[in-house]
Amino acid sequence: MKKIAIYGKGGIGKSTTVSNVSAAMAAMGMTVLQIGCDPKADSTRNLTGGKNIPTVLDTLRENGDAELEDLVVKSSTGVLCVESGGPVPGIGCAGRGIITAFEKLEELEAYEIYKPDVVLYDVLGDVVCGGFAMPIRGGYADEVCIVTSGEMMSLYAATNISYAVKSFGKRGYASLRGLILNAKNIEGENELVDKAATEIETRVIYRLPRDPFVQQAEAQGKTVVEAFPDSDMAMHYKALAKLLMEGGKCLE
Ligand code: ADP
Ligand code: SF4
Ligand code: MG
């Protein structure tokens, strides 16, 4: 079982990228578990017809004895979808919610029952506090990729996340695989992201173009892989999925 965490600033395109990669991996015949770790709880939306599924935290708040089927939704593409959810706004710790969801999935033996080939965590990384760093520091993810554009704020978040991965990496936890450039088409974008990669001693593992098919698929509540399987953008997501599964060297 391969466990990959995809971090990045809010709005940068994590959920779009992760759900397309999940759909592509499922189409390759793999059992995929996608876990949204963002209080926005919309990570798996494009896999489930544009509707948000109930979150683990909300479900547990109503019923502490919830079963696995109440927490995991199988999408039409075959991806097993989970949303950790968030605390009541203003009260409680969002990171703690992620931990609660992870612990519940373990307690209910989700990994033994579903036997996923790959687990993809979609994690908000604007602030890498202790809570949101859980997939890295708790030994949940083996590899971390960071989605960024050439915009300064997303590169700033990428730098912070990379420091967090490196500090925990020394203890044998997840290692940084590299950056995924999700283009915003700003001037000199490739060079800006290359420069940041060099500064944080990593590399750009994939460059995703900006493509209007992403919005068109989203409007249908679908991934590009599902809605426009023969498009160039679908090919990109499939290539990224293949690359992530192949592994490759993680830089320390
Ligand atoms: P995050 O999960 O990081 O908060 P989302 O995946 O929800 O971000 O993406 C934010 C918006 O950006 C979405 O509305 C999506 O349609 C758009 N988007 C993401 N990636 C691309 C892309 N490669 N081309 C065009 N639009 C994109
Ligand atoms: Fe907020 Fe993170 Fe602190 Fe939790 S650990 S209260 S999410 S800053
Ligand atoms: Mg998201």
- The confidence score (pLDDT) of residue 198 equals 98
Q: pLDDT tens across 148-201, in order?
A: 999 999 999 999 999 999 888 777 788 999 999 999 999 999 999 999 999 999
Q: Ligand 1 centre and the CA of 215: distance in Å?
A: 8
For residue 63, what pLDDT is reported?
A: 94
The ranges of the chain with pLDDT < 70 are 127-128, 248-252
The pTM score is 0.95
Number of Cβ atoms within 10 Å of the Cβ of 202? 24
The residues assigned a catalytic role are 9, 14, 40, 126
pLDDT at position 139, please? 76
- Which pLDDT score, from 0 to 100, does residue 126 have? 80
Task: Indicate whether residue 214 lines ligand 1 (CB < 6 A).
Answer: yes
pLDDT tens digit sequence for 10-19: 999 999 999 9
In which element (H, E) is residue 44 found?
none
Neighbouring C-alpha atoms within 13 Å toward the C-beta of 147: 28
What's the pLDDT score for residue 97?
81
DSSP 90-110: TSS-HHHHHHHHHHHHHHTTH
Angle at 140 between CA 94 and CA 40, to 5 degrees: 30
17 CA → ligand 3 middle, Å: 9
Indicate which atom in ligand 2 lies nearest the CA of residue 129: 2
pLDDT value of residue 134: 81
φ, ψ (nearest 5 deg) of residue 157 = -60, -40
Reported ipTM: the value is: 0.97
What's the pLDDT score for residue 131?
Answer: 78
Distance from residue 37's CA to the centre of ligand 3 (Å): 8
- CA 139, CA 171: separation in Å to the nearest integer? 10
Rg, Å, the chain Cα set: 17
Q: Which residues have CB under 8 Å from 208's CB, separation 6+? A: 13, 17, 180, 181, 182, 183, 233, 236, 237, 240
